[in-house]
Structure 1
């Protein structure tokens, strides 16, 4: 049964970095931000910021279709998307199960000060994974974020890639 790694964390928490590491271990990485960028260009530059969510919806559905197809083909997948709300995580877990995959939540906790530091660096870039985030927007993100609960089969990732890989291997062997 393929693993469906669902990355959970606020903007700047390190989801893309973790997803890229997992691609080196055979996972297919699916990124909603990159799909939106491919279709519409840069956030706040090529389209108004307030239209992001309407542009994101079809990208999420396209990624969900590919997510399903990869899992049905027996391929391990890592979803590079924030999944801030419990309801969103529940829906992606159900999609994974219906496609024959074993969903695992990987939570990347990060404090406000650390996120602001990372975002200040990232805000200088212009790639698909460099959405500009202000301190006020980050506060709004925290207000809308549901920290994963124990019943979500959560692996808390604190930066140790070897520990993460070991935890994913253990999840693979204990699935059922």
Structure 2
């Protein structure tokens, strides 16, 4: 093959990015994740969609702590499996969006470190909403339960609001 002496072949190495969707139920995480999925040609992994497909809507207003414990164990197992898929996809050079909520800084720091270990970029997308708006959205969502969502008792949402740790400004620095 003849090549002109002044032409160099440039290889472009694309670094995949791990996108974390951070926020409480009803904050708009999944809506934002779907938009990002199209913009970035990324793989979106929304844990609630997988949970509902596998187990249905397994919590209700009258659910007790045993029901929530079973629900949470299922959720954790799905998150673990989705992370395994996400890690492989990131290594292949494709962006991944994890739509899990990531309510604590320690969760976000752990995923940042995992992304770094894989050589992937990392970005947080925070879907913030007021308590009033969250309660309004969850009430409307519970009335219709769109596909891929499950019922969230208002009392649980209020409990989760108290334990949620919004990301600090330094977490947005790549």
- TM-score norm. by structure 2 comes to 0.81
1:121 alignment counterpart: 140
Contact 2:20 2:99 (C-alpha < 8 Å) held by counterparts: yes
Calculate the aligned-residue CA RMSD, in Å: 1.9
Cα deviations across residues 60-91 of structure 1 (Å, max 9, x unaligned)? Answer: 11011011011101001111111001111111
Runs of at least 4 residues of structure 1 off by over 3 A? 47-50, 126-129
Q: Which has the higher contact order (CA 8 A, sep 6+)?
A: 2
Q: Give the counterpart of 1:137 among 156, 160, 165.
A: 156
Q: Give the counterpart of 1:37 among 27, 52, 69.
A: 52
- TM-score norm. by structure 1 comes to 0.80
1:78 alignment counterpart: 97
Cα deviations across residues 28-52 of structure 1 (Å, max 9, x unaligned)? Answer: 101111222232222227x934411
2:18 alignment counterpart: 4
**Larger Cα-atom Rg:** 2
Aligned residues: 154
Q: Give the counterpart of 2:31 among 17, 29, 34.
A: 17
